[in-house]
Structure 1
Amino acid sequence: MSTQLTTRDTGERIRTAAVLLFARRGYAATSIRDLAKAVNMTNAGIYHHVSSKEALLADLMRVAQQGLIDATERMLAPYARPADRLALLIGSLTAIHARNPMTTRVMDGELRSLTPGSAARDEIIALRDAYEDHWRRALADGVAEGAFRLADQRLTRLALMSMCTGTSEWYRPDGDATLEQVCAEFVAIGLAAVRAPADAAVPTADFSQLPDFPWEPPDVRNDPRPDEARR
């Protein structure tokens, strides 16, 4: 096995452990020692691959957020109609969170852990804003064209996005509904919330275009054992 491949595999193992620990315990409650123990390395070994715990968090959030933006822009590119764009935004954000519950939990909840005023924090905020701009424009265009009727665009955006991101907390692949069914129902709810025409056919999100996060841990949400028992 080449040194390059070994280094990449080790880096991925570190990121998988970091995502799981950050998502379950929280970034602040996770130490480099915890991370080293999870991957059977020394603290010095961890620092060979990452410069700091905060740099590791920022990198995970940066790659995940950029992947979300890139996938969104690919899916939205062929569509101009606001209802089509909103449907794709709802379906894709729902699916990404359902399929990557630990990564998205970190991505959504740990901005507070980045140092205020740091370049990394400013970069992540800018990426978040760039993604949310797609939602803002879809809703604003729908209102301007008379296709949507809503009282408060900001509250509507926040409500719909929260509905989608919540799947990281409750969706189970072996549950009663498939992910396709969940996405379709959420799209229907979203379009009803903006009072879009009921007879408007809309596209469905292409899951094959969604970002792949190779460090996403196996689904451990149903495992009652503590972290240490799974190592």
Structure 2
Amino acid sequence: MTTLSTYLTDRHADAGLRIRTAAVLLFARQGYAATTIRDLARTVGMTNAGIYHHVTSKEALLADLLLSGHRGLIEAAERVLDGVKDAAERLALLISSLTAIHALNPMTTRVMDGELRALTPGSAALAEVIALRDAYEDLWRGAVADGVGEGVFHVADQKLTRLALMTMCTGTSEWYRPDGDSTLEQVCAEFVAIGLAAVRAPARPLPIADFSLLPELPWEPPRD
């Protein structure tokens, strides 16, 4: 079986993808600020000059990962929500898809959620990532607001409710394991039940996201 370290140093594998995988691994484990180009070069068995042949800078590499990841979030949500009008169903699909994305891509999503602050203030990359993040959160805002407007959801503070639900979902990047006590489908279904109870929606069967519609993040380090 090919190990992660063997893959990262495999000169026959795509170099750009190996560098991005190594970046996600290092940024997630030790943080962006503590990771150097030398660390990346050592991890993939290249020279510093070899790294710069594929990326212009460490910050540009981070920006690329954040932009790609957030675009993937939006595109997946649009696929999952396509044609769904019911507010409770939309919220259920958003909860289950965000939960699954974080569970299946724990290191990439930790970087997406925790390293935005590393981009240079005022930079075009930071502005673009923030715009994408806001566009994704608008899907949640809309689902909660529509449910409240229709009298299906009953919440005192829509913003706090949305943030609490999203935090519940993103937490799976820290604790979910494929060999754990619950399958990912079971985790998603339970989180949907918890989320709909939080907005005081009437209890009824609700769907979870089709995992085949979730984004492909090929730079996510495989689990050894």
The normalised TM-score by structure 2 is 0.94
Residue 217 (structure 1) aligned with residue 184 (structure 2): no
- Tell me what 1:224 maps to: none
CA-CA distance at 1:194 after TM superposition: 0.2
- Tell me what 2:136 maps to: 131
Residue 117 (structure 1) aligned with residue 122 (structure 2): yes
- Tell me what 1:95 maps to: 100
Deviation per CA, 1:190-209, whole angstroms, max 9, x where unpaired? 0000001113x322200000
Whole-Å Cα distance in 2 between the matches of residues 151 and 107 of structure 1?
Answer: 29
Letter in 2 for 1:207: F
- Tell me what 1:61 maps to: 66
- Tell me what 1:193 maps to: 198
Deviation per CA, 1:81-100, whole angstroms, max 9, x where unpaired? 10000000000000000000
Whole-Å Cα distance in 1 between the matches of residues 13 and 25 of structure 2?
Answer: 18
CA-CA distance at 1:8 after TM superposition: 7.7
- Tell me what 1:107 maps to: 112
Letter in 2 for 1:209: L
SS of residue matched to 2:140: helix
CA-CA distance at 1:219 after TM superposition: 2.2
Aligned pair in 2 of structure 1 residues 142, 178: CA closer, same or farther (>3 Å)? same
CA-CA distance at 1:186 after TM superposition: 0.1
Whole-Å Cα distance in 1 between the matches of residues 182 and 13 of structure 2?
Answer: 36
The normalised TM-score by structure 1 is 0.91
RMSD: 1.2
Letter in 2 for 1:105: R
Q: Where in structure 2 are the equivalents of 1:155-174 lying within 5 Å? A: 155-174=160-179
- Tell me what 1:143 maps to: 148
- The alignment-based identity, stated in percent, is 76
Whole-Å Cα distance in 2 between the matches of residues 45 and 79 of structure 1?
Answer: 47
Which one of 76, 81, 95 corresponds to residue 76 of structure 1? 81
Whole-Å Cα distance in 2 between the matches of residues 37 and 126 of structure 1?
Answer: 34
- Tell me what 1:202 maps to: 206
CA-CA distance at 1:7 after TM superposition: 9.3
Residue 86 (structure 1) aligned with residue 91 (structure 2): yes
Aligned pair in 2 of structure 1 residues 7, 52: CA closer, same or farther (>3 Å)? farther
Whole-Å Cα distance in 1 between the matches of residues 203 and 169 of structure 2?
Answer: 21
Letter in 1 for 2:25: L
Deviation per CA, 1:152-200, whole angstroms, max 9, x where unpaired? 000000000000000000000000000000000000000000001113x
Deviation per CA, 1:134-161, whole angstroms, max 9, x where unpaired? 0000000000000000000000000000
Deviation per CA, 1:54-79, whole angstroms, max 9, x where unpaired? 00000001011101100101111111
Which one of 141, 152, 157 corresponds to residue 157 of structure 2? 152
Structure 1 gap segments, 5+ residues each: 1-5, 221-231
SS of residue matched to 1:46: helix
